[in-house]
Amino acid sequence: MTEPNIIDGKAFAARLRARIAECVAALQQSHGLTPGLAVILVGEDPASNVYVRNKAKQTVACGMRSVEHRLPHDVLQADLLSLIAELNADGAVHGILVQLPLPGQIDEQAVMDAIDPQKDVDGFHVINAGRLAVGAAALVPCTPLGCLMMLRDRLGDLSGLAAVIVGRSNIVGKPMAALLLAANCTVTMAHSRTRDLPGVCRRADILVAAVGRSEMIRGDWIKPGAAVIDVGINRVPGTEPGKTRLVGDVAFEEAVQVAGAITPVPGGVGPMTIAVLLRNTLIAACRQAGVAEPDL
């Protein structure tokens, strides 16, 4: 049986996908519009391959169009940029995602910034990052938005809560801070240079761990009753020789004894990321077509 303080991200994501599928069907009926998502994968990284396959499968399952472009690992940046220019101009494509990480010869931010901001369903374009920072209508990075949705679902109004985010990446930490600030939390950003990290974490009503270090955050770093969102996905050696397992940035077995709510790894934040990507694609399609967007 699932413990009552465990947040089931898999079930939450499935409910979100079901609502997206209903909205997509309604949009098709009312406006003859089918949202389209183009995914570009450079190289053969096995984890990225699995990820991209899952994205395509779930896009189609929600009734949207999925287009996949695979480029060799030694592709020139200019060739990647000209594919993006083609997709920017393609009216059937409403969302463009370039799977990260990219090989070393390519400047990732230059690639992100080449995507039409209206089609930037990852929310990584500097225009969308800026819009989020000033509180304007933006496309918001999928992982932090998924975290916010789960927090709102569990806690309701977040106003006045002390939120501590461990990790300051452009993909998770910074947009998570902007979202929680907009939700009226008192936000602290902690990182590798923070002094007395355990003490800072202990002040949090909401603790978001996004550092990429396996089980770094211990049970006694957590305020009793706090909501803990674990964004980490770290592969570590398993108990049997040659086997591996996934763990988060939080020592789950300790934390689950203390937290009021906690996301497990796997099955917490991970499943939400793709569901929010589909949500962003639907929202992007509505905005491009000038159709009222659903409240998702």
Q: How far apart are CA 144 and CA 157, in angstroms?
A: 17
Backbone angles phi, psi at 262, to 5 degrees: -150, 140
Shortest distance (Å) from residue 26 CB to ligand GUN:
27
Q: How far apart are CA 262 and CA 264, in angstroms?
A: 6
Of the listed 99, 119, 120, 205, which one is catalytic? Answer: 99
Closest C-alpha among 280, 125, 112, 144 to residue 210: 144
- Per rule CB under 6 A, is residue 280 in the interface with ligand GUN? no
- Per rule CB under 6 A, is residue 97 in the interface with ligand GUN? yes
Tell me which of 58, 59, 169, 273 binds ligand GUN, using CB under 6 A: 273
Shortest distance (Å) from residue 101 CB to ligand GUN:
7
Of the listed 58, 118, 119, 122, which one is catalytic? Answer: 122
Q: Which of these ranges, 9-17, 96-104, 201-209, 287-295, lies near ligand GUN under the rule CB under 6 A?
A: 96-104
117-136 binders of ligand GUN (CB under 6 A): 122
Query: Roughly how many angstroms between the first and final C-alpha of the chain, as a whole number?
Result: 29
Q: Which of these ranges, 97-105, 204-212, 250-258, 287-295, lies near ligand GUN under the rule CB under 6 A?
A: 97-105
118 is catalytic: no
Cβ proximity to ligand GUN, 98 vs 179, nearer residue: 98
Concatenating the DSSP letter of every residue in 117-156 gives GGGBTT--SHHHHHHHHHT-S----HHHHHHHHHHHHHHS
Cβ proximity to ligand GUN, 96 vs 250, nearer residue: 96
Closest C-alpha among 185, 218, 184, 191 to residue 204: 185
Question: Residue 234 in 3-state DSSP?
Answer: strand
Closest C-alpha among 167, 131, 126 to residue 147: 167
122 is catalytic: yes
77 is catalytic: no
Cβ proximity to ligand GUN, 63 vs 270, nearer residue: 270
Residues that bind ligand GUN (CB under 6 A): 97-100, 122, 142-143, 273
